[in-house]
Amino acid sequence: MTLVDLWTISLLLSLTALLIMGGLIIVRHVSGRTQRQVQAKRSQFLPLLLGQASDEELVELRHSSSTILVPLVSELIELVRGDEREQFVATAARAGVTETLRHQLTSGSARSRITAAEVLKSFPDDHCTAALEDALDDADAGVRFAAALALASSDRAPPARILVERLGLGINENSMLIVTLLSEIARSRPHEIRQLVEDTGVPPAVRAAAIEALSGSGDYSLVKVIADLAQAADDAAPELPRYLRALGAFKHPAALPAIRSRLASPTWWVRAAAAESAGLISLADTIPTLCELLDDDDWWVRFRAGEALVRFGPTGRSLLMQVGENGSERARHAARSTLAEQAMAA
């Protein structure tokens, strides 16, 4: 290639880019006009979707299925509530929206497949369920997860254990939305999520997510299971603070051995989580350790220890005052600041 070729290539590239941009500007200009027609059609279709559409009107809706109707349904389906929602979903299905969405779920970009999965959750028929189940094996992780969430939110998810394996939860997929997914399943099948907690073959991150999904369930028999997990976990395990916080959420004194041992953990975030839970459960046996933690090397541990002591009421405040007088400089600062802040909050 010569230097002159460089000039020729640069000119060709620039002119091509300018031509493409010119084309896009023309397309935009024209679409600006058609946009008004689309808006008019959308306004015309909306009452049909919310009311009873005649067969003729359904034919018209079907003809515009992919260009106008599907985007309109995708936008509005989450906003319509009550009786109108059933009507909306039924009319959209009769107008062929589900066929288009099922097709969209197997072709096109990952972005459009995700959108299709999210909309299909509102259509409970078997075809849609089958399409969403197939999407659990999609090549794109985002599509797989969207399909799982869609199935779970409409009580159609496969057994939780199978879902964990198919999606690679806790191995390839570590989204915090795993908690949301398991919480959705737990609404109707809490036993499956409990089995995940107890199953040693399940990745620790998923067991922690399952625990969080059940933490509002009031099933106190879980406390022992979680406490055992917290006792057995490695000190630097990322799920350990999640176990400890879950114990705090249950507010059950049976968590004491696990929390007491973790207050002495060499890992700061474990000590902080243990201190937080000790305060939430009001574990009086931990008070001396919490006072010592006011002099911890890590600010978060000192903060959580102070916060926990305040939760013990007058006893905790009195101890904070004592440390504020007699503790090390760091502990005095932590104790006094905590008391001052709590006094203002009160």
Pick the closest to residue 42 from 15, 8, 69, 22 (CA basis). 69
What are the structure tokens assigned to 190, written together? 């809490």
Nearer to another protein, 3 or 191 (CB): 3
Interface residue with another protein, options 65, 91, 98, 115 (CB under 8 A): 115
Q: What is the DSSP string of 289-328?
A: HHHHHTT-SSHHHHHHHHHHHHHTTHHHHHHHHHHHHHS-
Determine the Cα–Cα distance for residues 20 and 308; give it in Å rounded to an integer: 64
Q: How far is the CB of 333 from another protein (least distance, A)?
A: 8
Contact in structure between 295 and 271 (CB atoms under 8 Å) = no
Instruction: Spell out the residues 6+ positions from residue 64 whose beta carbon is closer than 8 angstroms to its own.
Output: 41, 45
Interface residue with another protein, options 73, 186, 309, 334 (CB under 8 A): 334
Residue 80 within binding range of another protein, rule CB under 8 A: no
Q: How far is the CB of 176 from another protein (least distance, A)?
A: 4
Interface residue with another protein, options 176, 218, 266, 314 (CB under 8 A): 176
Q: What is the DSSP string of 114-142?
A: HHHHHHHTT--SHHHHHHHHHHTT-SSHH
Residue 190 within binding range of another protein, rule CB under 8 A: no
Between residue 117 and residue 156, which ones bind another protein under the rule CB under 8 A? Answer: 118, 142, 149
Contact in structure between 88 and 48 (CB atoms under 8 Å) = no
Mask of contacts with another protein, 3-32, x by CB under 8 A? Answer: xx-xx-xxx-xx--xx-xxx-xxx-xx--x
Q: How far is the CB of 322 from another protein (least distance, A)?
A: 17
Contact in structure between 250 and 265 (CB atoms under 8 Å) = no
Nearer to another protein, 53 or 320 (CB): 320
Cα dihedral 52→57→60→62 (10° resolution): 40
Interface residue with another protein, options 39, 43, 109, 315 (CB under 8 A): 109
Nearer to another protein, 65 or 104 (CB): 104
Q: Interface residues with another protein (CB under 8 A)?
A: 2-4, 6-7, 9-11, 13-14, 17-18, 20-22, 24-26, 28-29, 32, 75, 78-79, 109-112, 114-115, 118, 142, 149, 174-177, 179-180, 183, 238, 299-300, 302-303, 306, 333-334, 337-338, 340-341, 343-345
